Amino acid sequence: MKVIDQFKNKKVLVLGLAKSGESAARLLDKLGAIVTVNDGKPFEDNPAAQSLLEEGIKVITGGHPLELLDEEFALMVKNPGIPYSNPMIEKALAKGIPVLTEVELAYLISEAPIVGITGSNGKTTTTTMIGEVLTAAGQHGLLSGNIGYPASQVAQTATDKDTLVMELSSFQLMGVQEFHPEIAVITNLMPTHIDYHGSFEEYVAAKWNIQNKMTAADFLVLNFNQDLAKELATKTQATVVPFSTQEKVDGAYLEDGQLYFRGEVVMAASEIGVPGSHNVENALATIAVAKLRGVDNQTIKETLSAFGGVKHRLQFVDEIKGVKFYNDSKSTNILATQKALSGFDNSKVILIAGGLDRGNEFDELVPDITGLKKMVILGQSAERVKRAADKAGVAYVDATDIADATRKAYDLATQGDVVLLSPANASWDMYANFEVRGDLFIDTVAELKE
């Protein structure tokens, strides 16, 4: 870890705990800052706050009192999930207090080079693929960021022999200033999180922050399947390395079933260890990063062939009496579910869908769900998802929750069928996050097998 003194004796407010806030608070304390933590959860139900208090860090819990900002803080580090419309953040910005996320702290202390991955879909799979390939090549890819390991925690022990492979959300990237990866990947850009950002343009602007400090010595890997990416490629100082499944590009591409990098075959698309056209795109992005980091083709091929996927992203769960169960709970938008369905024969799929209604245009799903054996629909968005099912001519049943949906889907299935949880919606109408939703699906499948 780099020793830096820019926070020494500075008053810093950490807003919101969870994993990233807790990690940021400890790091700032270690760096000599005078830290105050503010979290909305009551103290008696807040193990993280209790632990920090025992370590001598000031904690204020049970709400976000605006008068707290009457103190002269030099900096606020916010949990990425807290929107900028939060009154505490609005007041901090009005007072001229910089508002960062812990990703910025990770960059400032990291001795390891950083590969940053963002995008609307495929972030977690691509991040994991890159981490595994770099580790296989002896470059020790350390996963961090939005993938579940706080970046500021992982960066503390990373050395210059490691590579920090960071999954970055738009929420995290809104709070960076000096963040500077050597390689950045934008997997794709689709309208999502509009409820947080206010517009697609603002969402793209947040994602685009990943390359703000990059120079011609750095590499920006972009998905040239999208015209938007081609347009953005003209607006960066970084050296652009494209990938595409639709055309031959000066980077990574698919041609005649083979994955190439700059004219050289790396592996066959059929050799990728996980199904789906979206995973071909993820593999191409991974190949681009790996080749830029000097990894040989054999290592890339062996690692991607053995790749088993990511939990909650088209994760094979189990098979019961010839019925296969796949957990794709991480599909929180329409594009992700479209890509999940592309890997299956619709006539054998019972799709579980529905969740938080964010105003998605479910009519976009009609061509993709046409021909499904059946759907099981639940959640706040159920009525709108049903209208799409009606237009597609797909029969459906209602469910009260994920456990109920899983049981009903199994009852509808016969040998050779697939039960696919791919909700096309966020989980927050019923569950704390997509992980909880996916774990309940997994647990219910286990109960069905007993």
Annotation: binding site for ATP: 119-125
CB 123 within 8 A of CB 187: yes
Q: Judging by DSSP bridges, how do beta strands 239-244 and 252-255 pair with one another?
A: parallel
DSSP state string for 76-120:
EEE-TTS-TTSHHHHHHHHTT--EE-HHHHHHHH--S-EEEEE-S
CB 127 within 8 A of CB 168: no
Q: Smallest Cα–Cα separation from 259: which of 243, 273, 274, 239? A: 243
Binding residues: 119-125
Q: Smallest Cα–Cα separation from 315: which of 186, 411, 434, 219? A: 434
Beta sheet of 183-186, edge-to-edge order:
141-145, 163-167, 114-118, 183-186, 219-223, 239-244, 252-255, 258-261, 264-268
- State the Cα–Cα distance between residues 419 and 412, nearest whole angstrom: 9
Distances in whole angstroms, Cα of residue 191 to Cα of each of 41, 341, 375: 31, 19, 24
